[in-house]
Amino acid sequence: MKYLLTLFLCSAFLATNIVAQETSETKIPKRIYTTKRLKKVPVIDGFIADDAWNEVEWSTDFTEKNPDEGTAPAYQTMFKVLYDAKYLYIALRAFDEEPEKIQQRLSRRDGFAGDRINVIIDSYHDKRTAFVFTTTAAGVKGEEIVSQNGNNWDESYNPIWYTNAKVDDKGWTAEMKIPFSQLRFGKDKEQIWGFNINRTIFRFQERSLWQRIPNSQAGFISEAGELHGLKDLVAQKQLEIQPFTVLQYDNYPSEAGNPFRTGSDFKLNAGLDAKIGITNDLTLDLTVNPDFGQVEADPGTIALDGFQIFFKEQRPFFVENFNIFDFEFANGSDNLFYSRRIGRNPHRDANLENGEFAQTPQNSTILGAAKFSGKTRDGWSIGVLESVTANEFANIRQIDGSEREEIVEPLTNYFVARAQKDFNERNSFIGGIFTATNRNLNGNFSELHKAAYTAGVDFQHNWKNREYYVEGNAIFSHVLGSTEAITRTQRALRHNFQRVDATHIFVDENKTSLTGTGGRVEVGKNGGGNWRYNGGFIWRSPELELNDVGFLRRTDEMIQYANVNYLWLVPTEVYRNINAGFDQGSVYDFNGNLNNINYELAGEISWINNWWSEAGYSLTTNFYDNFFLRGGPRWQRPDTSSKYIFIGSDNSKLFSFTLGYSNNDSDENVVGRDRFVIRTNYQPSDAFSMSFNIEYENEFDRTQFIPEARGISFNNDARYILGRIQNETLTTTLRLNYSFSPDISLQFYGQPFISRGIFTDFNYVINPVGESIKGRISVYNDTQISFENDRYIIDENRDGTTDYGFENPDFSFVQLQTNLVARWEYIPGSELFLVWSRGSVGNADVTSDLANSVSEQVFEAPANDTFLVKFTYRFAR
């Protein structure tokens, strides 16, 4: 522990004192644009010749941001801003001496492809958040909400607004009409908003800004210019109601005798989404019986380590404004709010007798959800979410034809409240979060928590022109349930209280609650000069539990880390910029055991021809794993090194690609992995684009844990069975996009996935912390192990009698996912979707190669087809 404390103090010292001789650059003065109230209303057709625009002057003198910061761009940009009682109007002129080379790439909304202009509006003027409205040269619109002073760009923002663009002999022009109801601002007589405009010339990969922001400057929204002259604005409270109707037809292979799998089903569904402006700052979102049928399926994956896999949220209701609810308390995916818990698959399967069939829901029904969120003029960010999911029942058809129901998921209420307050001239904030999960168990589901609560506080302080910062958080969790539920939680892999050699944790089968803590503190330098660095400390106590409505992968860890980066920001004849860094970290458990020390060197280069490269090398030493034997003793892994290199071409060309390779290997050749990545993108025309990605991974591990052999003992000694796995994984992803116009598009997504694992050289643990692999395991010889009826039989003492056995762990998992979506936004905010989804999951012959297994799954295996028609209409005021 003294070593851990020393490392943490050294990290903090490094983050606050290294290269203190750096001098801060001169702060760039704020630019101001003063708008006026219009007298005539311009037609939003992309042309900028209307007399209405003559009320104000053009503003120009943009400065290059990338690649050559601080210089004049290849071509200048001009803009004007006007307003009336309900709308903000913006005219844009993007000069280009070669208009025939302007990239007018069509895409779906939020495609952000080709030449484009982003208008960045910090109407809160909190210097941390902003609304971004984008128009491309093809007239495609896009919107984002920016938070964390430019570190988080959220594309889920989907306001109603109007835009158009035209290419002419001088370049291209665009017009925007943005309702004030889609923005948030205070009640001052004259508004002052943060304001900036960013232009991208795609073929040059050049960005230029109206308000210059040096690349060495920490922060982005805080450094924007200002928009003045907005007088006597009246808040336009938002009111939008969006009912929807869904027709769904499913076609699938029928199952003989199964009344629930006849080969086809038809469903009719309807629901309602609403957005109500409670004040100009705060909005109430409502959804009743939401439908997520057109959401893209999760990618295929296999978790050989037994830990839960994190999947990105894709459902629109939960994605929108997620930045307000986000509470990532540690590095990685750990978060107090993981919205995919809401509407999850049922916890139970139906209990069936011989001859019975069941129809079990795939997901819990979300009866309703409400989300109250926004940011006030005085710096309060507020988010409150309430959702209820239904009791779910499996319908069971009995042998005699009668039916019964069996509950598989209880009625559950989820509640999340989040708040942050800015102060110190927006250079600091402090916030908090509270979540609650309550289940109506009704004397059933003794294996589930009856209630789960979490709370946390977070803070950040920036100083010296936001170059330096200190931030952190602390969290608390408390779960309640029956002794069975709490015992199950203690034994879950992320807690592992049953670990046989642990002295600081143990399973208490009488407990009815668990209380834990976690958190992070970090201090560092984030801007100014060429150096960036930080150091910090993370902890997760053994009893911390978040997975009722949050995401937590593992506990019982204390992590110290430090990072140093040096940036070359001024382009040369060879490169645009370079970032090189060194990272160091160490991990302890709460018993004071050092579980690993990690060192990493990494670098990234953007070349002058718009290609890029990145490479890295890492080394992990003193490597121990408390979770590897899943309840067994602490396991020593070999020292392991990793290296990677990736190269990418200029993505402004019609064809671009990324090639990558990574490798892991260890002492004594215990583990090894080779991973190859090919990603391609081809844009043969402005309307059509395609991408094709291939990832192939070949991994071996002489000590892969065999879950099928858990619980085995011999002569009253536990046996932890391992084996040498050769695991090959192949993922191919094809995307095709055709846009008939900015409002009509056709998209195809297809992903075959296969992972095959073949086991040999089975062995058992003799000394989990032995100095060498030979001292840690004993490999069964031919007289000890035999294979019969897809099962391994072990005669460990060679006396001719079977001592124990386990099922064959070999696997070849194959999955196909495809999705074809036609989308028409027939009026702003209202859409028609036509969706075809095709998918299948199966197990291939482990003796077949990967290509044949994938081919059989795509072309021969029976699949499930789903056809959807979804119609939405958005009533807005």
| CA-based nearest residue to 221, from 196, 200, 198, 199 | 196
Question: Does 26 fall in a domain?
Answer: no
* Mean pLDDT on 708-732: 93
Distance in angstroms (rounded) separating the CA atoms of residues 392 and 407:
6
pLDDT bracket for residue 21 (50, 70, 90): very low
188, 207, 231 - which closes a domain = 231
CB atoms within 10 A of CB 555: 26
CB-CB contact of 486 with 511 (8 Å): yes
Q: What is the domain-level CATH number for residue 42?
A: 2.60.40.1190
Q: What percent of the chain has pLDDT over 70?
A: 96
Q: pLDDT, tens digit, for every residue of 835-854?
A: 999 988 888 888 888 878 77
* Tally of domains in the chain: 2
Tell me: do 462 and 352 sit in the same domain. Answer: yes
φ, ψ (nearest 5 deg) of residue 658: -130, 130
Mean pLDDT of all residues belonging to the chain? 91
31 within 8 A of 224, measured Cβ to Cβ: no
Pairing of strands 63-66, 624-625: unpaired
- CB-based contacts of 204: which residues, under 8 Å, 6+ apart? 74, 652
* Residue pointed to by tokens 């002259």: 229
Residue 637 CA to residue 704 CA, distance in Å, equals 11
State which residues form the domain around 442. Answer: 322-555
Out of 34-38, 112-116, 184-188, 503-507, which region has the weakest mean confidence (pLDDT)?
184-188
- Residue 877 pLDDT more than 80? no
Q: Is the pTM of this model over 0.85?
A: yes
Return the structure tokens found at 744: 């009509």
Question: Is there a single domain that holds both residue 225 and residue 361?
Answer: no
pLDDT reading at 11 higher than 60: no
Res. 555 pLDDT band, cuts 50 70 90: very high
Only one residue has tokens 């579980």, namely 595
Question: Taking the CA of residue 275 as centre, how many other CA atoms within 13 Å lie in the half-sphere pointing to its CB?
Answer: 24
- Spacing of C-alpha 388 from chain mean position: 24
Report the pLDDT value the prediction gives residue 292, as an integer from 0 to 100.
Answer: 63
Phi, psi of 203 (to 5 degrees): -70, -20
Buried b (16+ CB within 10 A) or exposed e, 376-385: bbebbbbbbb
Residue 572 lies in a domain: no
For residue 356, being part of any structural domain is answered with yes
**Residue 32, pLDDT score:** 97
Q: Which residue is listed with tokens 């050289």?
A: 761
Q: Do 40 and 189 belong together in one domain?
A: yes
Model confidence pLDDT, tens digit, residues 786-804: 999 999 999 999 999 999 9
Looking at the fold, whether 349 and 462 belong to one and the same domain comes out as: yes
CB neighbours of 653 closer than 8 A, spacing ≥ 6? none
On whether the CB atoms of residues 321 and 158 are closer than 8 A, the answer is: no
Highest mean pLDDT out of 141-155, 319-333, 712-726: 712-726
Residues 216 and 328 in one domain: no
pLDDT score for 846: 87
Given a cut of 50, is residue 347 above it in pLDDT?
A: yes
Q: Alpha carbon of 521 to those of 8, 458, 535: distances in Å?
A: 10, 9, 9
Q: Are residues 207 and 353 in the same domain?
A: no
Are 226 and 356 in a shared domain?
A: no
Specify if 621 maps to a domain: no
Give the end of a domain, one of 506, 529, 555: 555
On whether residue 664 sits in a domain, the answer given is no
Q: Which of 139-148, 215-224, 304-313, 628-637 has the lowest mean pLDDT?
A: 304-313
The pLDDT of residue 333 is 83
Residues near 537 by Cβ (< 8 Å), separated by ≥ 6?
Answer: 8, 11, 520, 521, 522, 558, 559, 560, 561
- What's the token pair of residue 575? 């490169």
Q: Is residue 503 part of a domain?
A: yes
Same domain, 40 and 183: yes
The pLDDT tens digits of the residues spanning 259-314 come to 888 999 999 989 888 888 887 778 898 988 876 655 556 676 777 777 787 778 87
Nearest CA-CA partner of 338 in 491, 454, 451: 454
| 213, 332: one domain | no
Q: Which of 197, 213, 231 is the last residue of a domain?
A: 231
| 74 and 218 fall within a common domain | yes
How far is 126 from 228, CA to CA, in rounded Å? 15
Model confidence at 1: pLDDT above 50:
no
Q: Is residue 492 part of a domain?
A: yes
Looking at residue 829, its pLDDT comes to 85
What per-residue string of b and e applies to 722-761 under the rule 16 or more CB within 10 Å gives b?
bbbbebbbbbbbebebbbeebbbbbbebbbbbbbbbbbee
Residue 30: pLDDT above 90? Answer: yes
> What's the pLDDT at 5?
45
| Whether residue 351 sits in one domain with residue 216 | no
Domain identity same for 223 and 333: no
* pLDDT of residue 238 exceeding 90: no
In this structure, is residue 475 part of a structural domain? Answer: yes
Mean pLDDT in residue range 2-22: 44
